[in-house]
Structure formats: C-alpha cells, structure tokens
Amino acid sequence: MTHSIWIYLLVMSAVTLAIRILPLTLIRRQIKSRFVRSFLFYVPYITLAVMTFPDILHATQTPVSGMLALIIGALLAWLGASLFKVSAFCCVVVFIAERFLVG
C-alpha cells in the first residue's frame, strides 16, 4: 500500500462536503426565473421516485416482497399514514412475506 488511508479520507470528505455546501452557501438569493423555480419544485418528488423504483425490488431477498412493500407502503401513504408508520409497515410486510417466500 503506497497511499495513506487518512489522505484518501481527507480527499473524499473534501469533495463530498464541497458538493453539499457550496450551492447552499453561494446561492443566497431567491432565483427569479420561473423555469428554474418550477424545475427545483419538481426535483424532490421526481428524484425520490427515481430512487425508489425499481431499487426497492432489489433491496429485499425476493423482488416479490419488495413489490408488496411498495404497494402497501404507497397505499398507507395515500391514506395519510405518518412517515414512521409507512416505513415500519414496509419492513413488517417484507419480514412476513419472506417467511413464506424464502424457504
């Protein structure tokens, strides 16, 4: 090993923190452009949706249990269940489903 793990940690942390902190500190004013404002309004929902599916199918031992968690989680969220409830129910659904699905 010719490289130092400590310097690796320094480099990765510096890059990550710069990515996270620079826009927040450099963009101090409200953006006026209607396009940019609309764009930034839609980003959170679209990016979280992109990250949820199909990834949830690969997170579990079988895709079926992930799919069940997605359907029941979405239904509970639609009915207005809290963040914690939706999250906990998804875990319970996978645990129960895999008792039958995974031998």
Partner 1 sequence: MRLNKSGLIASHGEVLREGIRDGMPIALGYFVVAFTLGIAARNAGLSPLQGFLASFFNNASAGEYAAFTVIAADSPYLEMALITLVANARYLLMSCVLSQRFAPDASIWHRIFVGFDVTDEIFGISAARPAPLDPYYNYGAMLVALPGWAGGTAIGIMAGNALPPAIVSALSVALYGMFLAIIIPPARVNRVVGAFVLLAFAASFAASVLPVISELSGGTRTILLTVVLSAIAAVKYPRKDEESET
Which positions from 23 through 82 interact with partner 1, judged by CB under 8 A? 23-31, 34-56, 59-61, 65-66, 69-70, 73-74, 76-78, 80-82
Work out how close the CB of 4 gets to partner 1 at its nearest, in angstroms, rounded to a whole number.
Answer: 9
By CB under 8 A, is residue 100 in contact with partner 1?
no
Distance between CA atoms of residues 28 and 44, nearest Å = 20
At closest approach, how far in Å is the CB of 36 from partner 1? 8
